[in-house]
Amino acid sequence: MQKRTLPLVLLFALLISLSAQAQVRFGVKAGLTSSRVISSSKGAASYNPRVAWQAGALADLGISRHFSIQPAVLLSSKGYNTKNDFSSIGSTLNLDATYSPLYIEVPILALLKINLGNTVRLFGGLGPYAAVGIGGQKNIKTSGVEATTDIKYGNDGGDFKQTDFGGSLAIGAEIGGLLLGANYNFGLADLAPGGGNTTLRNASLGLTIGYLFGSSKR
């Protein structure tokens, strides 16, 4: 039992130590993303990107002059467009659908920063993210008939599994308090419900603008 808990105790002590030494600044950011899914399906369906968005709050924990930890809590729209053709009794049915799931997402980035003068910093980094589906809609058109309904989460009978996780890459610049950034998220969780042969994983490329309150003393 002691061998299992010792790493957790050491990690907790390290986090306390880093927090005590860090210069903490808070901020907000928002932006647009190109969202899609990566699928293992080899069928006739095509999965295309859709324009989505993200917005939320962040904290920047300045550990040193060139390194910080940056957690955030974001409201993140994701999803994709898909098209498929079905043959039935001598006719072809056309299906066009847009899935727009909505997540609460928590990325935690480790950032390296390079100073360019007194007020400009370039940054780049990576880290994990975790997300939980909380809503969203799907719009389905089949041979002229259109319907919009809420997205359902769950492994049995849902559109997607509810939990997502993966990695995030980020680059950008701080200009005073202004934040300009780009990020790429790649999902590692299979979102396809039911345990079938098809897998679905989120992927998104985003551009954001934000602001960090307070001044950096490092």
Q: In a structure prediction context, what are the per-residue pLDDT tens digits for the chain, which is 218 residues long?
A: 444 445 545 545 655 565 556 788 999 999 999 999 998 776 656 789 999 999 999 999 999 889 999 999 999 999 999 887 766 666 667 788 899 999 999 999 999 999 998 889 999 999 999 999 999 999 988 877 889 999 999 888 789 999 999 999 999 999 999 999 999 999 999 998 876 678 899 999 999 999 999 766 65
Q: Please, are residues 191 and 161 in contact by the beta-carbon 8 Å criterion?
A: yes
Q: Is residue 9 part of a domain?
A: no
Written as one letter, the residue type at 118 is N
Q: Is residue 112 part of a domain?
A: yes
The confidence score (pLDDT) of residue 9 equals: 57
Render the burial of 121-147: b for 16+ CB within 10 Å, e for the rest. bebebbbebebebeebebeeeeeeeee
Q: Is residue 8 part of a domain?
A: no
> CATH no. for residue 111?
2.40.160
Q: 24: which residues sit within 8 A by CB, 6+ positions away?
A: 59, 60, 61, 62
Domain count, the chain: 1
Q: Is residue 150 part of a domain?
A: yes
Q: Is residue 4 part of a domain?
A: no
Q: Is residue 7 part of a domain?
A: no
Q: Is residue 173 part of a domain?
A: yes
The confidence score (pLDDT) of residue 45 equals: 67
Q: Is the dihedral of CA 189, 50, 101, 85 positive or negative?
A: negative
The confidence score (pLDDT) of residue 118 equals: 83
Q: Which of these, 192, 190, 194, 132, lies nearest to 157 by C-alpha position?
A: 194
Q: Which of these, 86, 107, 85, lies nearest to 206 by C-alpha position?
A: 107
Long-range contacts of 7-13 (CB under 8 A, 24+ apart): none
Q: Is residue 67 part of a domain?
A: yes
pTM, whole model, 2 decimals?
0.83
Q: Containing domain of residue 78, as a range? A: 22-212
The confidence score (pLDDT) of residue 198 equals: 81
Three-class SS of residue 3?
Answer: helix
Q: Is the dihedral of CA 145, 151, 152, 156 positive or negative?
A: positive
